[in-house]
């Protein structure tokens, strides 16, 4: 499961100097194709709703489904999302398109990172590819 938080559905038009020119549809296609390459199905979701994100994390935990998550702005303050991510029963990798540490100070804190298997940031859309590769390696080494 690849989960995307607020404003990520606007990829391609939202601050392309920060987030790149790839559209959200392009992101979905890349994640889906890479999943097939690794032999697993990838579901990609996007929401501006904290409640919906928490529900998807519960669903993943209940089904022991690995997660790649870009929480967007929820990264910095959503304790509800952090608590839902802490319930994970499979690997959970946090991703960010930009490098939060090279941006505004408020972006330097992630409440998700402490409960994630790992964090990948700053590689553009490639952050998702790196996360899916890491996930595939974790799943095959089990």
The per-residue pLDDT for 18 is 63
Domain of residue 101, CATH code: 3.40.50.9100
How far apart CA 60 and CA 100 sit, in angstroms, is 26
Please check if 76 is assigned to a binding site: yes
The pLDDT > 70 percentage for the chain reads: 92
A 10 A CB-CB count for 137 gives 11
Grade residue 16 by pLDDT with cuts at 50, 70 and 90: low
Please check if 4 is assigned to a binding site: no
Q: In what order do the strands lie in the sheet with 92-96?
A: 44-46, 2-4, 67-70, 92-96, 118-121
Residue tagged active-site, from 24, 96, 101, 108: 96
Long-range pairs, 22-31, Cβ under 8 A, ≥24: 22/124, 22/125, 26/125, 27/125, 27/128, 30/125, 30/128, 30/129, 31/2, 31/68, 31/128, 31/132
Calculate the average pLDDT of the chain.
90
Residue tagged active-site, from 19, 58, 108, 128: 19
Which whole number is the average pLDDT over 29-38? Answer: 94
| Pair of tokens at residue 137 | 């390696």
Please check if 70 is assigned to a binding site: yes
Q: Is residue 24 flagged as an active site residue?
A: no
| Pair of tokens at residue 100 | 């939060």
> Of 12, 2, 33, 11, nearest to 95 (Cα)?
2
Residue 42 reports pLDDT greater than 80: yes
Please check if 107 is assigned to a binding site: yes
| Pair of tokens at residue 138 | 């974790």
Q: Give the structural domain span for 83.
A: 2-140
Q: Give how many domains the chain has, as a whole number.
A: 1
Its pTM stands at 0.89
Which whole number is the average pLDDT over 124-132? Answer: 95
């Amino acid at each position: 499961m690849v989960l995307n938080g607020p404003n990520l559905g606007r990829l391609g038009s939202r601050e392309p100097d920060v987030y790149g020119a790839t559209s959200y549809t392009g992101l979905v296609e890349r994640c889906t194709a890479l999943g097939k390459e690794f032999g697993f199905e990838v579901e990609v979701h996007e929401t501006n709703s904290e409640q919906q994100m928490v529900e998807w994390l519960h669903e993943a935990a209940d089904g022991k489904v690995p997660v790649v998550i870009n929480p967007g702005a929820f990264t910095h303050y959503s304790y509800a999302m952090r608590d839902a991510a802490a319930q994970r029963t499979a690997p959970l990798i946090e991703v960010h398109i930009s490098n939060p540490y090279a941006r505004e100070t408020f972006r330097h804190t992630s409440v998700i990172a402490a409960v994630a298997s790992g964090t990948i940031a700053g590689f553009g859309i490639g952050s998702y590819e790196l996360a899916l590769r890491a996930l595939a390696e974790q799943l095959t080494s089990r």
